[in-house]
Structure 1
């Protein structure tokens, strides 16, 4: 979410080639073999009363290349597809109260520049995006994990800034740890949302982690939005101190995964 406004200072921005857009759309409809279906594998506790911090998935990647190939995306059930559709709509700056309710009150959002540890702070992030960006367009995604309590997808997003007339294209791995109490419902909710745009996971330590939490703690306070205020009671949601790992590689409990 907020990572793009800072990352533009260190990332080369570019216009998205039209030919590549057409290629992604073509891949989405030209798969020669059906992708695998989901699995019953579980990663997290089955106790939905536990706070979002207990539902963090950890992984690193050999290259950090999360470019999606939609033609290889795992199929999803209608309920899971509806969840992913709502999450992608949030990335495209289409926040609604109902879409933010996809998260539990004690949810966690963790990316390069934000660590929000309740739904009130999460709402502040999503509803703040239109104040920073002129547009945000999803260029495709590829579901790479469809387990009992975890959905992961590679996602390509183009962010166009309001002040700087440039577009930054970001490829990231989005991990959605699912709320155990809603896994089998029509309206599935998320306990932990992680967004990774490079090969390393987050240590959740140091000055960077402090800034991420400060940013999330303060944005909602300055959002004069009735939609954000609706989630104010979630400030009291159960939470724990963020778990720390010392580093973002295998020694930091983040095994290499070929996703």
Structure 2
């Protein structure tokens, strides 16, 4: 979540690196004003989205996530390696989302853009996991600390573009391009990554969908959850929130006792580490 390690001395924006540097609709949609005013268009959009979800499921294969919300976030981790390090989004190819799914993605983009709110952090279940190059937060309290810390670290964060490449009952996945401007140095870093949002089974068909596991990858390999790098990721998430004074964090204090399991370790971030290879360049 914190791309500070890519900071340098060049005050101009960088081109997007290719290595690691730094959201179904139901009855309410059919009864909405646009649906009533344009029933044919609404039907076409619903049909398109259903077909896309079916196609994505068929192409990517079931990940074997639990079908209920009882299991903690660790059970919803997507594992994947890529055939390319290039996650540059092409918005013209982005999958069209239903309104609830689009609102979920909008909220996540707003969080990346240093606009945290209590409501947006509630997009995650209390037992969620956030996992990127720099952070491993295994409950919503720790995650809230990360999101509310971003505006203190960055003067600005702008979403340049994104491309939804998967949307089905298990997951919403998109390529993301984000520019981060640091507070203490005249530097803007533009980062591309693959964002995977594993959906909470209990809310995946609701108006307010929630996330069980949020993974952000910036290179072709997945995370092994081992070694000094992971030790730092876990330490950072465990401790940053302890030093935050944002009053909004009180909303999530009870989440510290959310169900969680020991970190799952894989030995490697390659296919041998249970991370099947996929082609995200199409």
What TM-score, normalized to structure 2?
0.82
Aligned partner (choices 176, 179, 194) of residue 155 of structure 1: 176
Aligned partner (choices 90, 101, 106) of residue 69 of structure 1: 90
Paired with 2:10 and 2:82, the residues of 1 have a C-alpha distance of 22
Residue pairs, 1:205-244, within 5 angstroms: 205-244=226-265
Task: Give me the CA root mean square deviation.
Answer: 1.8
Aligned partner (choices 39, 48, 66) of residue 54 of structure 2: 39
2:116 match = 95
Does residue 5 of structure 1 match 2:4? yes
1:26 match = none
Paired with 1:73 and 1:144, the residues of 2 have a C-alpha distance of 6
2:125 match = 104
1:15 match = 13
Residue pairs, 1:102-181, within 5 angstroms: 102-181=123-202
1:204 match = 225
1:187-241 CA distance string (max 9 Å, x none):
0000000000011000011111111000000011111011012111100000001
Mapped contact 2:165–2:175 kept (Cα < 8 A): yes
Unaligned segments of structure 2, at least 5 residues: 16-47
Mapped contact 1:12–1:168 kept (Cα < 8 A): no
Mapped contact 1:38–1:76 kept (Cα < 8 A): no
Q: Aligned with 1:217: secondary structure?
A: helix
Deviates more, 1:145-154 or 1:40-49: 40-49
1:255 match = 276
1:30 match = none
Q: Aligned with 1:75: secondary structure?
A: coil
Paired with 2:52 and 2:168, the residues of 1 have a C-alpha distance of 9
2:213 match = 192
Specify the structure having the higher radius of gyration (Cα): 2
Structure 1 residue runs of 4 or more that deviate by more than 3 Å after TM superposition: 11-14
Does residue 84 of structure 1 match 2:105? yes
- CA positional deviation for 1:16: 5.9
- CA positional deviation for 1:13: 7.6
Q: Aligned with 1:158: secondary structure?
A: strand
1:25 match = none
Unaligned segments of structure 1, at least 5 residues: 18-33
What TM-score, normalized to structure 1?
0.89
- Kindly tell me: are residues 250 and 13 of structure 1, through their superposed partners in 2, closer, same or farther at Cα, counting changes over 3 Å? farther
Mapped contact 2:130–2:215 kept (Cα < 8 A): yes
- CA positional deviation for 1:186: 0.3
